[in-house]
Structure 1
Amino acid sequence: MNSTVFTVMLLGPSLNAVSGVSTHLNQLFHSSLANEFNLIHFQVGSEGQKESAVSKSKRFLFSPIQFFWQLIWKKPHIIHLNTSLVPKSFWRDIAYLFVARIMGKKIVYQVHGGALPQFFFANNKLLTGLLKLILSSTDVVVLLAQEELHAYRNFKPSLHLELIPNAIEIDADPQWKKIPTSRDQLLRLVYVGRLAENKGIFEIVEALRIVLSHNRNIELVVAGSGPEEDKLRIHVKDLGLSNHVSFVGAVFGEEKKHVWEQADLFIFPTYHEGLPYTLLESMAARTPPVVCPVGAIPDVIENRVHGVFVPSRNPEALAVAIERLDSDRALICSMGEAGRQRIENYYTIARLAGDFRRVYYDLLS
């Protein structure tokens, strides 16, 4: 089989957008898959831009029509639809799925987080039946987490399911990184991500207040932007923590690498998650995560081996975990080493490309 003749059309947001799905698409386009398949991109979504009702209606109407003509012109063999099980994405992407199906294309339906299928439409039997029909119209459903795999298998046993976790491009191993060995030395915490309430950012600040009240030598760097940034800054100031918290904005490339290199612990008490890239990045940088065991995170981390689990919405428990690690710098070092090895062994772009290469060839055989 000469794979160079086969075309795969990847549907998702702009390749220049700041999103996890955009990162995923760019990884595939820059992986070894591009040497074996003709990978092309079709953009869907508004990229977070504000739209009038008229503009949104036009996009919903004309984008699937444009997609139809692209299928005729580009003649892709596989449609790789990147979506999430959230209402906006689900209803939008039904149109693309329908067009691809009536055109007889093989369909990879990759779900980047969202609700589990049993709970997506709550107790609405009609809409739940529609979801089963939509999923059954695909050739393969790709999921990120074991939790999702079990849920989809129970929801519709006949589905062809594949578990393909996210991956990252691994930088040079920061073996030189030294964690301060004494609790008298500064312990540097970092949060990297979107500044949204469901990421646990206010719990982080409250936990820091508790820890500092116990005379710990700790600082926090907040790297990111989002809808709660102004509120978070005010909260930090009101608690008198301004001298212990630094806001550095959204970081990318070498600037982000520097943030990881300077940090000792990654604090990420998110309420719900798929498989966040920041988690993989922190482990690759030997910066152990203190994180909630949600989504695909327990697939990646073994508690107190690669990082530490804490319950969500519980700043007191988060403070206890931080203080214990502040008193056990050797554990931080050992988790940093184990985390780096975990990423090198299981979460590389080469592994990601190999997983999709197998899926694509199976569909084409």
Structure 2
Amino acid sequence: MKEKILFGMSPATHLILGLDELAGLEELGYSCSQVTYSRDKLNISTINRMYGVILNAFKVLVQLYKKKPDILYLNSRINVNGSLRDSFSIFLFRYLYFRPLKIIIKSHGSDLSVFERKSFIFSKLVIPIICSKVDAWLFLSQEEVATFNTYKPELKNKAFVTYNIIDPKRSVYSESFQQKHNLPKNKFKFLYVGRMIYEKGVFAILEAIAKFQERENCLFLMVGGNDEELENVKLKVDKLGISDNVRFTGYIKEEECDHFYSNMDALVFPSHDEGFSMTLFKAVAAGLPVITTQIRAAKDQLTAPDNCLWVDGKSGDSVVSALRELYKDEILRNSMRSNNIKLAEKFGRAKVCENIHAIFQKLS
């Protein structure tokens, strides 16, 4: 029997991804269990956030004693709030749990500038705790590992690159799905999935649509966003005069949203800041041609024009050129579809979990 793993997972984000990793590692012989780690409400006061961190840390501690794992695998992220939470929690685990334990953090996106913050709390408490008490850091791109090694060269043997699991079976082409969401057969359908904010490249998309001469033959479907975000973006759509070409769905649950990838013609996702974007790689697994930005995991895994067309994410001009190229070039689209389906095999459950297992072996 291999080692026992306790997975710390957020109930709000990456839950399906965490459960996929848990199942894949069980298939390799590990004994796995899960516990809630992180909060499920984003817009809460500082006091409530602090209370939640303390309460959650003690709940994890109880599960440590109950499950007696060899590995605590925390799905988290390196940024100000994540590092504050992790440092307190890990300090508690190390000094109140009296059994051998490897602690691993998988960072779903990162702001590694936290390592150079000069405040007393970070320089004397947060960073020393997490650097001395964490056994391994799993990042989703080579860029993040390289940046981590720049800030903390003494920890370079603790930083590894892994991937997220992508299951293409969760996205299915369906006439009934297209009818349900009123997806027209006589138009080329561009898809965007994500928050409706500037940092995701949304306004570059809208500016590009306004300059895109073929837009009357297309539908731009924008999936996601809360009410406040949608209000701001819709004002921009009205100002640009492209209301007939753009449709907003608002928030859609992940299980339903996944089917859009197999029922659209291309993904346009010019985000400015991503780790291993699930939107991007779900589209790749579904065989969609892709327009995106050359950052982190996208830069590691994709090449142009084999898998995608690169844009800068801030300029409507760069995006509109890519829209035209994909729309007009069927041969290019077909080539991308074939290449992307093949590339996505790399992110299957078995291969990703074998990679994680290999990292665990290096820590033994």
Q: How does 1:10-159 map to 2 (within 5 A)?
A: 10-14=7-11, 17=12, 19=13, 21-33=14-26, 36-102=29-95, 103=97, 104-116=100-112, 119-122=113-116, 124=118, 127=122, 131=127, 134-159=130-155
Residues 135 and 141 in structure 1, CA contact (< 8 A), matched pair in contact too = no
Flag the 1:121–1:29 CA change in 2: closer, same or farther, 3 A: closer
CA contact (8 A) 1:197 1:228 kept: no
Say if 1:79 and 1:108, in contact at 8 Å, map to a contact too.
yes
CA contact (8 A) 1:225 1:250 kept: yes
Counterpart CA distance in 2 for 1:254 and 1:54 is 33
Deviation at 1:163, TM superposition (A): 1.0
Name the structure 2 match of 1:288.
289
* Residue aligning to 1:244: 245
User: What is the DSSP-based 3-state SS (H/G/I as helix, E as strand, rest coil) of the residue aligned with 1:324?
Assistant: helix
Matched-pair contact (CA < 8 Å) for 2:167–2:285: no
The gaps in structure 1 that reach 5 residues or longer are: 177-184
Question: 1:12 deviation in Å?
Answer: 2.5
Could you tell me which residue of structure 1 aligns to residue 263 of structure 2? Answer: 262
Corresponding position of 2:178: none
SS of match in other structure, 1:221: strand
Report how many residues are paired: 346
Q: In 2 relative to 1, CA 252–34 (structure 1 residues): closer, same or farther, beyond 3 Å?
A: farther
Distance change in 2, residues 1:297/1:240 (3 Å): same
- Are the counterparts in 1 of residues 86 and 130 from structure 2 also a CA contact under 8 Å? no
Conserved 8 A contact 1:223-1:251 = yes
* TM-score between both structures, scaled by the size of structure 2: 0.86
C-alpha deviations, 1:3-55, integer Å up to 9, x for none?
2xx321111311xx2x2x32321211332525622222221222125434543
CA distance in 2, matches of 1:295, 1:200: 16
Cα gap change, 1:251 to 1:333, in 2 (>3 Å): farther
Unaligned runs of 5+ in 2: 175-185
Q: SS of the counterpart of 1:11?
A: strand
RMSD (Å) for aligned C-alpha atoms: 2.7
Distance 1:72 1:51 in 2: 30
Question: Offset at 1:340?
Answer: 0.9
Change (3 A) 1:264 1:283: same
Q: What residue identity is the alignment partner of 1:320?
A: S
Partner of 1:355: 355
Give how far 1:92 is off: 0.9
Match of 2:162 in 1: 164
SS of equivalent to 2:69 = coil
Residues 171 and 62 of structure 1: CA distance in aligned 2, closer, same or farther (over 3 Å):
closer
Are the structure 2 counterparts of residues 197 and 60 from structure 1 closer, same or farther at C-alpha, using a change threshold of 3 Å? same
Quote the Cα distance in structure 1 between the aligned partners of 2:268 and 2:146.
28
Q: Which residue pairs with 1:315 in the alignment? A: 316
Shift of 1:326: 2.1
Report matched runs for 1:184-333 at 5 Å.
186-212=187-213, 217-226=217-226, 227-252=228-253, 255-333=256-334
Secondary structure of 2:284 counterpart: helix
> Which of the two has greater helix per residue?
2
- Provide the TM-score with structure 1 as the length reference: 0.85
Shift of the 222–156 alpha-carbon distance from structure 1 to 2, 3 Å rule, reads same
- Using the aligned pairs only, state the percent identity: 23
SS across alignment from 2:18:
helix
Structure 1 residues 60 and 175: alpha-carbon distance in aligned structure 2, compared to 1, 3 A threshold: closer
Paired with 1:72 and 1:208, the residues of 2 have a C-alpha distance of 56
Q: Cα offset for 1:144?
A: 0.7
- CA distance change for structure 1 residues 109 and 239 in 2, over 3 Å: closer, same or farther? same
Hey, what's the Cα distance between the residues in 1 that align with 2:153 and 2:215? Answer: 55
Residue identity in the other structure for 1:189: F
- Deviation sequence 1:242-292 (CA, Å, 0-9, x none): 211122233456743542233221000101110111111111111111001
CA contact (8 A) 1:12 1:82 kept: yes
Give the conservation status (yes or no) of the 8 Å contact 1:33–1:357. Answer: no
Q: Partners of 1:163 and 1:316 in 2: how far apart? A: 34
